[in-house]
Amino acid sequence: MSDYVQLREERPALHLRRVRPRIADGSALLVYLAEGTVLDETGAPHLAAPAYCYWPHPGPSDLTLGAGTRAVVIGLGDGIRQDAIGARSESLDLRLLTDAPFIAPLPDPQTAARAEVLMDWFLSETRHEEARSTMLLASILRLILIEARRLRLPGGDATPSKETDLLRHFRHLVETHYLEHWQVADYAQALGVSYDRLHRLCRTELARSPADLVNQRLTAEACDRLDRSGAPLKKIASDLGFPDASRFSHYFKRRTGLSPGAWRAVAQRSATAEAEALRKGFADWP
């Protein structure tokens, strides 16, 4: 569970203090600021409560909290982020949201009260060490992210470059069409660019070809369904756009080095290092 979510409550103090988030390597950082302020390097208020603040890995090495500040500092591992984002109609928006830092002020008493309820629920569930539910934690985080998406202020460059905008559009198309097994030429045509330009851009910015990125997304979905679903292989193959289970098995083994059955056997063992390594290998679409 420590790699799934890490949590630390910061109680109000009479003086400002510097907090060093203790989160697992690779975790994103979510801060719920209930009361008080976060200060910048000069000691001036940078953010006032109530608000959510988020940084993808690697986040800030420390936070300076003003006197009287009450906050919850949460490390979000890859597993809970993927579970919260899911594979629904809003998943792309949540995936893009968590790619960059953001601040989401809670502008009115009703919104702030809703955030307090969600955070209390999240805290309560993490305290149930023997019976805590990762599904419930991910569901609460999903609600928090959906709310944050509606309220957020950009935390980075508000005017992305043409290359960044094109990559985001490419990613959107992949999320929409990867189950249809579009070819790279189809994506290039939909983007209004040449195949060569799309290939160069992905190689330059992401060190992978467009085909590698599309295959990574499809493989990640296959891994997730094998891990979390008890559906027969034939059903998973069909849902992923393969004509039969045999072709899916050949594709999956070529991508991962394991047959679907072997992957499922390893990944469903509880909390083994091998299973965690397998999940991390194909979980992220950059």
Note the pLDDT tens digit of each residue in 195-231.
999 999 988 877 889 999 999 889 988 988 888 778 8
The residues that bridge with 31 in the sheet, in sequence order, are 53, 73
CA-to-CA distance for 258 and 226, rounded, in angstroms? 12
Full set of structural domains in the chain with CATH: 5-154 (2.60.120), 162-282 (1.10.10.60)
CA-to-CA distance for 13 and 142, rounded, in angstroms? 31
CA-to-CA distance for 281 and 204, rounded, in angstroms? 21
| 3-state percent breakdown (helix, strand, coil) of the chain, nearest 5 | 50, 15, 35
- Band of residue 98 on the pLDDT scale cut at 50, 70, 90: confident
Q: In 46-103, where does DSSP find H-type helix?
A: 78-85, 91-97
Neighbours of 262 (CB within 10 A): 14
- Band of residue 61 on the pLDDT scale cut at 50, 70, 90: confident
- Tell me: pLDDT of 278 over 60: no
Mean pLDDT score, 80-89: 80
CA-to-CA distance for 77 and 113, rounded, in angstroms? 26
Half-sphere CA count of 260, side-chain side, radius 13 A: 26
Q: What is the pLDDT of residues 260-275, one digit of tens each?
A: 999 888 877 644 444 4
